[in-house]
Amino acid sequence: MSLAAPMPGGCAKGPTPLMDGVVSRTVRRHLPFGVHFDLTYRCNERCVHCYLDHEDYGELTTAEILAVLEQLAEAGTLLLTFSGGEIFLRPDLFEILEEARRRHFDVSLKTNALLVTPQKAARLRELGVRRVQISIYSDDPAVHDAVTKVPGSLERTLAAIPLLQAEGLHVKIACPLMTENLASFPGVLALAERLGVSYIFDPTITPMIDGNAEPLAHRVSGTELLPVLQEPKLRGCRPESVDASALPVSVGSASSSGIERDAYDDLPCSAGQNTCYISPYGDVYPCVQLPVAAGNLRRERFADIWSGSAALERVRAVRQSQLPVCSACSIRKYCERCPGLALMEGGDLVGAYERACELAEVKARLDGVADAVSELHRRQRATQPPMPFAESAASAAAAR
C-alpha cells in the first residue's frame, strides 16, 4: 500500500505539474476552484480608469457573506480573492477573513493599502492570509496621485508595503497601464525589484460594469505599448517565451486568478469553468470582466447557481476551436482574447473584437511574423470595395 508522499510544488512560481493536475481536475469536473469576491464597490480612491461607480446599493451583510463562505467551502472552492472597491472600508473585513480562514480557504487580498496599519498587517499574518496585491500606477507621486485623485496616496500606499512584508506576507504590485502612466512602467518595475515584490502590468482597461465606455478613453494603443511588450523582464507577454520556472512577472489581466494553464486546453479561460466572480450584492458572474448574471446569492444557494445556471452553461460551452472568426486566425497564438471583453466591446461572447486583434498584431509583428493580420481584419479588408483610383489619389494627397 502506498500513502503517496506529499508532492511539493510551487503555486507562486508559475505553472507546475502539480498545479496543472489540480486545475485540470477542477476544470473537467466544473468545480469552483477559485472565486473572486468583491466585498464592496465603495472606495477611498477615485481612479480615472475604474470600472465601478463606488456606490453602495445594498451590500451583502456580514451574516450573508459568512453564509456564502460556508457554501463556497462546501462547493470545493480553495482559492479565494477578496477585492473591491477598497476592502478595508468594510468594518467587518477581519470578521470575514477569520471565517474564511476558519474554513481553510487560501486567501488573497486586493487593496490600495491606504488603510493598512502595523496592527492590521499583523492580524492579516495571524489569520494566514497568503498574498496582498496592491495597485500602484507610478513611482512618481504626481502621476500616481493624478490617477487615484487622492493627494499623498502613493506615499501612503508605499508605506504599507514594508509593514506587510515585515509580517511575512507576499506582496504583489499590480500596475494597470493607461495613457496617464504608460511612461512610468520602468519606474514601477524598478520599484518592485527594489522592494523585492512580484508585479504585473496590465493594459486591460474595460468599460464600466454597467457598460459605460468612458474608461476606454484611457487605453493606450498597441503601438504605444511597444516599449512594454519589448521589455525582456516581462516575458509573460510573449506566448512562446513563457518560462515555467520564471517568477510571476507578466503582462496580463488584473482579474486573472493566476491559475490559467494549459489545463484549459480548448477553453477560452477559466471563467465559469472553475472560477467565478461574486459582486458585493451577491450576484454571481463567470468573471468580473464577464458580467452575465448567473444568479443571486440572496435568492439561491451557490451550488444551485453554479450547477444550474443557463448563463454559466452557455459560457462553458464556448470552445476556442469553434469561434466563428478567431478559430481561423493565423496569429491566434499571440491573442489574449477575453470572452467578457468580446461581449462588452463587440456584443458577442464568441466574436472577435478590435482590441484583441490590435494587440495580437503588434505582438506578432514583434515576433517577426511577416503577415501579422488578424482574421477579423482580413475579412474586413476582403469585404471593403476597392477604392477608385481618383479617390485614392485624392486621399493620398490630402494625407500629405
Binding interface with other proteins (CB under 8 A): 1-13, 16, 18-19, 21-22, 25-26, 29, 31, 33, 73, 76-78, 97-99, 101-107, 126-131, 168, 170
Closest approach of other proteins to the CB of residue 261, in Å: 13
Closest approach of other proteins to the CB of residue 16, in Å: 8
Closest approach of other proteins to the CB of residue 102, in Å: 6
Residue 157 near residue 111 (C-beta atoms within 8 A) = no
Shorter beta-carbon distance to other proteins: residue 103 or 298? 103
Shorter beta-carbon distance to other proteins: residue 4 or 310? 4
Closest approach of other proteins to the CB of residue 164, in Å: 13
Closest approach of other proteins to the CB of residue 192, in Å: 17
Shorter beta-carbon distance to other proteins: residue 34 or 203? 34
Closest approach of other proteins to the CB of residue 188, in Å: 22
The span from the CA of 252 to the CA of 66, in Å, is 31
Closest of 208, 219, 233, 48 to residue 143, by C-alpha: 48
**R_g (Cα) of the chain, nearest Å:** 22
Closest approach of other proteins to the CB of residue 201, in Å: 21
In the three-class reduction of DSSP (H, G, I as helix; E, B as strand; rest coil), residue 74 is classed as helix
Closest approach of other proteins to the CB of residue 8, in Å: 6
Output the nine-digit C-alpha cell for 212: 459605460
Shorter beta-carbon distance to other proteins: residue 9 or 187? 9
Angle CA(33)–CA(37)–CA(43) in degrees, nearest 5?
Answer: 155
Shorter beta-carbon distance to other proteins: residue 36 or 365? 36
Integer angstrom CA distances of residue 324 from 153, 286, 340: 46, 21, 16
Positions of E strands within 104-218:
106-111, 131-135, 170-176, 198-202
The span from the CA of 316 to the CA of 271, in Å, is 8
Shorter beta-carbon distance to other proteins: residue 9 or 351? 9
Output the nine-digit C-alpha cell for 104: 481553510
Enumerate the β-bridge partners of residue 36. 81, 277
Shorter beta-carbon distance to other proteins: residue 21 or 351? 21
Shorter beta-carbon distance to other proteins: residue 140 or 167? 167
Enumerate the β-bridge partners of residue 283. 296
1: CB partners within 8 A, 6+ apart: none
The span from the CA of 228 to the CA of 209, in Å, is 27
Residue 36 near residue 140 (C-beta atoms within 8 A) = no
Shorter beta-carbon distance to other proteins: residue 129 or 278? 129
The span from the CA of 54 to the CA of 44, in Å, is 9
Closest approach of other proteins to the CB of residue 144, in Å: 27
171 phi and psi, to 5 degrees?
Answer: -110, 135
Closest approach of other proteins to the CB of residue 262, in Å: 17
Residue 87 near residue 46 (C-beta atoms within 8 A) = no
Closest approach of other proteins to the CB of residue 306, in Å: 15
H or E element: which one contains 158? helix 153-166
Shorter beta-carbon distance to other proteins: residue 7 or 399? 7
In the three-class reduction of DSSP (H, G, I as helix; E, B as strand; rest coil), residue 248 is classed as coil
Number of Cα atoms under 13 Å in the Cβ half of residue 260 = 20
The span from the CA of 222 to the CA of 33, in Å, is 33
Going by the DSSP 8-state scheme, the letter that residue 239 receives in this structure is: G
Shorter beta-carbon distance to other proteins: residue 28 or 333? 28
